Amino acid sequence: MPFPPTRRLRWLVQVLFLIGFVVLLDITVVPLPEGLPTDLYLRLSPLNGLVTMLARREILYTTLLPGLATLLITALFGRVFCGWFCPMGTTIDVFERLALRRRRYPLPDPKRLDRTRPIKYVLLTGMLAAALLSFQPAAFLDPISMVHRSYIAVVHGPIHNLAQDARDVAYRPLRARGRRIQPGAAPRVYHLNAVILAMWGTVLGLSAVQKRFWCRHLCPLGALLALVAHLPLLRRRVADGCTHCMRCERDCKMGCIQEKGRSYRSRECILCYNCESICPVDAVSFPLGAGPEPGRDSSHQLGRRRLLGGAAAGVLWMVGVRTSVGHARTAGRSDLPNQLEENTKSPRRIRPPGALPERQFLQTCIRCGECMKVCPTNALQPALGEGGLEGLFTPILVPRIGHCEERCNACSRVCPTGAIQNFRIEEKRDKFILGKASINRSTCRPWYGGKKCSICDEHCSYDAIDTRMIDGAERPVVLEDKCTGCGICERMCPVTPVAAIEVSARDERRPLVDEGLSPLSGFTSQ
Amino acid sequence: MRVPLTICRRDFLKRATALVGGGALLGVGSLGCGKRSGNGAPQEGAGGSGTRPRVAAATAGSLAYDLVIARKAPAAELVRLAFDQLGGMDKLVRPGQQVCLKPNMAWAREKGSGACTNPDVLGAVIDLILQAGVAAKDIVVFEHTRDAFTTAASFSEIQAVCDARRIALVNGDSQQVYDAQEAPEGTKFLKPFGENEEVASDLMEADVVFNMPVLKQHSATGLSMGMKNLMGAIYNPRRYHGGKDADPDSGSQELDERIVDLTVLLKPKLTLTVLDATFVLREAGPKGDIGTPGDELQTLIVGTDPVAVDSAGAQIFGMAPDKVGHVKAAADRKVGEMDVDKLRASDRLAEIDGPAGPAKGQADADGAAPTDSSDKAG
């Protein structure tokens, strides 16, 4: 039985937008395509923009504009974003169709649903409260950020590696037939992909309990859109012919139909048109109109107590996370380091070039993973503890995996929030210092073993390593004033697994880029 | 819509295979390098290495000279001059042969910096090979870069040169494209049944190999020329720098001796060494600082003996060849001839004048050497 037109159209739109999402992720590689908004979906989330601007206390136009469009569409038509466009929602739908095909969901119990649905408002309030106190909460809960991170680390990584293996296998047989392909490139690794999968898997797995469990009960972006969808123009109408067969109530993705199909919670409705398509007597329709509808229940179950509870939870969350790493302070200047933070920062917390000063960086970075996807050497990895618990999933440079390529600014071009500021390649070497390299003289071969080796000197892009005659042998020394901490020396050092020359975040320099962000930087950046 | 989906094991396996294969092909197809030209005429005995009948490579004896030095002309003109003097590209390649070119494309450095082989030189050589009747699909340019492959290929303009001629530029990042080669006689660190060398299969299986290095200063080996450039054709050059089972007696010369080992291994494969000295990186080698233009020497050295070419290169640079550790070591081990004047050379080096005139005696070589690293080795 084919879907009726609207439902079929919805599936088509969903699939197309998911394909668009995957394609945009896929082309987020060096060389970056000119003028394509690779971070469009991230910007479509108004929640990302809102919490980032709250945390930064600054208007970020780049992040704002597409999110405003989402809000506008939601205000006009209801939560179509959730039902038609959200890559997380579509992923959940696809997962349900494939993995939970045989699942027979029980008839939803409106009373029980009403008890748990408000959790998302509590989470939203918590996020906003934390953001007001300069804490970036998107890392944990924003679905758009999560879905990017997950596709990059969990889906793209393995598929890429499989494809490279296939190239390697096919390379010689094809060559023997006079056909040449590029052999496999280096495999991609994403530290913590298991942690990221666990988080994502939980979101998907909850669908075994109820359809779109995440969207119904937990999604803070959905909560924000539900608040905006106050008087949508598309409203569900049930004609008199309704037989109260309950099929729509059972089939509703969001469990928002009640009273035997007669009424629905309009803030929960994501306009999936399931009820319209499944009605055996064609009694359900979504006409465009502004008049009151008898079956529309627009209450939001927000409650003062829940708001306060959510806000308190957000504050506790923020303070708790910060206390765990020794910088519980929230007030004060975010652009200047404080001494405790300086003393306790992990030496391996090496930030990409152009990264804002650490406190601002943590406030601005939404942990989407775009920089890790685009990094041509795979050097950028999600942090576990290196940036503190607050820095979970933020990008750090892992030199043993890859180095910061001298003539590359790809991460700064794809960052949706400007946590990695957009800079020109020419200014990279003079402006930013990721850290400093230092030589371990008890493992370095020329220092300890008397061998001739100057791999670090050879590879250094900044002429920051000098091979000098010291005590009768040629030995490398680091010229501190030239070293930018790119890590190519550590990557190439033949001493394994711990290199004899290592970069630490010591003396990092992370100035603000003068010109700031242009309102359209992500779309037109060089 | 509920499509009744009953799936049996066979179905599942079929689908899984199709899915995996399809995904892999998708990845393969989207990034294929070097567009296919012609309809890929089937080759005899298309199989693994060794089964394909080889067209005999030109012998050195059929060339007019063993060593040619072309000077004072634009890059493409230098190439034409040099190969004319040798006796023409027809003497070196024949249609149907597989040709592998190994330029130095290690770094993301521009043409003119002298850190990578001049793309004009590479392009002119490819053009001559194509004119000699070799199909574009039978030519491959191979490099195991140090900077990321994509940036090195684009900044050096070598990607553009290859794309324009539909030549495959192969990324040597994958260990799968290398084959372990047994050590031949006369090596010090490579040992039979001990340490093998993983060498690019594209190079080993080619009928004709042109080593196309650039002449430049090098912080570890004094100079980088033909022999040193071979380190970009192996999988693990890192091992050369004092591995843990290194010979304790060899001390600091291990790197030099290993470069000679590699030359011993690959010399039978090398048809020609084309040493690019159009722009020469004089300091901060092998990579050089950004924006520092190379010294424009407008010179090209082409020869059959890798040691002789490197020896001539050192003299063009202004260094005595026996002050370059690996050149001296190669001569000592009789891998090739260091005394260029003993060869059938097109020019006497001593007769060459100009700003890059060779070291007439060995006395002034020390002053010109940018680091003292070669002194120790030599």
Q: Do A108 and A227 belong together in one domain?
A: yes
**Which residue on chain A is closest to B29 by alpha carbon?**
A181
pLDDT digits (tens, 9 = 90+) for B122-175: 999 999 999 999 999 999 999 999 988 988 999 999 999 999 999 999 999 888
- Residue from the list A2, A172, A405 with its beta carbon closest to the beta carbon of B151: A405
Q: What percent of chain A has pLDDT over 70?
A: 93
**Residues A286, A353: one domain?**
no
Is A167 part of the contact surface with chain B (CB cutoff 8 Å)? yes
Q: Is the pLDDT of residue B357 over 80?
A: no
Handedness of CA B184, B187, B192, B196 (dihedral sign): negative
Is B24 in contact with A474 (Cβ distance < 8 A)? Answer: no
Show the tokens assigned to B35: 């567009």
Output the pLDDT for position B167.
94
Which residue in the set B48, B52, B147 is minimally distant from A405, CB to CB?
Answer: B147
In a domain, A202, yes or no: yes
What residues of chain A, 413 to 432, have a C-beta less than 8 Å from chain B? Answer: 429
Nearest to A188, CA basis, from A408, A33, A21, A381:
A381
Statement to judge: residues A281 and A340 lie in one domain: no
Examine residue A184 and state whether it is found in any structural domain, yes or no.
Answer: no
- Residue A448, chain B, CB below 8 Å: the answer is no
User: What pLDDT, in 10s, does the model give residues B198-208?
Assistant: 999 999 999 99
* Contact in structure between A363 and A52 (CB atoms under 8 Å): yes
pLDDT score of A62 = 66
Q: Which CATH superfamily is domain B68-242+252-377 in?
A: LarA, N-terminal domain (3.40.50.11440)
In Å, how far is A6's CA from the nearest CA of chain B?
14
Q: Are residue A274 and residue A341 in the same domain, yes or no?
A: no
Q: Which residues of B touch A376 (CB under 8 A)?
A: 148, 150-151
Whether A345 and A261 share a structural domain: no
Q: Does A411 touch chain B (CB under 8 A)?
A: no
Q: For A317, list phi and psi in degrees, rounded to 5.
A: -60, -50
Of A480, A479, A473, nearest to A448 by C-alpha is: A473
Smallest Cβ–Cβ distance between B1 and the set A2, A166, A446 belongs to A2
For residue B274 the two structure tokens come to: 């084309």
Residue B168 DSSP symbol:
E
Please judge whether A178 and B372 are an interchain contact, meaning their C-beta atoms are less than 8 angstroms apart.
no
Beta strand residue intervals within chain B, DSSP E: 67-71, 99-103, 139-143, 168-171, 178-181, 197-200, 208-212, 214-218, 222-224, 272-281, 295-303
**B62 CB burial (10 A radius; 0-12, 13-18, 19+):** exposed
| Number of residues assigned to chain B | 378
SS3 B198: strand
Asked if A483 and A429 sit in the same domain, the reply is yes
d(C-alpha A467, C-alpha A465), whole Å = 7
Q: Which of B205, B217, B219 to mutate to test the interface with A (most CBs of A within 10 A)?
A: B219
- pLDDT tens-digit series, residues A381-422: 999 888 888 888 999 999 999 999 998 999 999 998 889 998
**Cβ within 8 Å of B, A 146-165:** 159-160, 162-165
ipTM of this predicted structure: 0.78
Residues 490-519, chain A: which have Cβ within 8 Å of B?
A: 492, 494
Task: State the total domains in chain A.
Answer: 2
Please tell me whether residues A90 and A231 are part of one structural domain.
yes
The answer to whether position A361 is within a domain reads: yes
- Residue A419: exposure state from Cβ atoms within 10 A (0-12, 13-18, ≥19): buried
pLDDT > 50? residue B375: no
Q: Which residues on B lie below 8 Å from A172 (Cβ)?
A: 48, 177, 201
DSSP line for B249-277: GGGGGHHHHHHHHHHHHHGGG-SEEEEEE
Average pLDDT value for residue range A467-479: 88
Q: Where are the domains of chain B?
A: 68-242+252-377
Cβ-proximal residues to A76 (8 Å cutoff; 6+ apart), any chain? A232, A233
Looking at this protein, which amino acid is placed at residue B98?
A: Q
User: pLDDT tens digit string along A7-21?
Assistant: 889 999 999 999 999
Domain limits at A488?
336-514
Single out the residue in A276, A297, A318 at which a domain terminates: A297
Q: Which of A164, A144, A5, A161 is nearest to A66 (CA)?
A: A144
Q: Are A433 and A495 in contact (CB under 8 A)?
A: no
Does A428 map to a domain? yes
What is the Cα A456 distance to its own chain's centre? 34
| Cβ neighbours of B34 in A, within 8 Å | 180
If asked whether residues A369 and A467 sit together in one domain, one would say yes
B223-239: average pLDDT: 91
Q: Pick the last residue of a domain from A297, A316, A350.
A: A297
Rounded CA separation A473/B252 (Å):
8
The encoded tokens of residue B371 equal 């680091």
pLDDT band with cut points at 50, 70 and 90 for residue A63: low
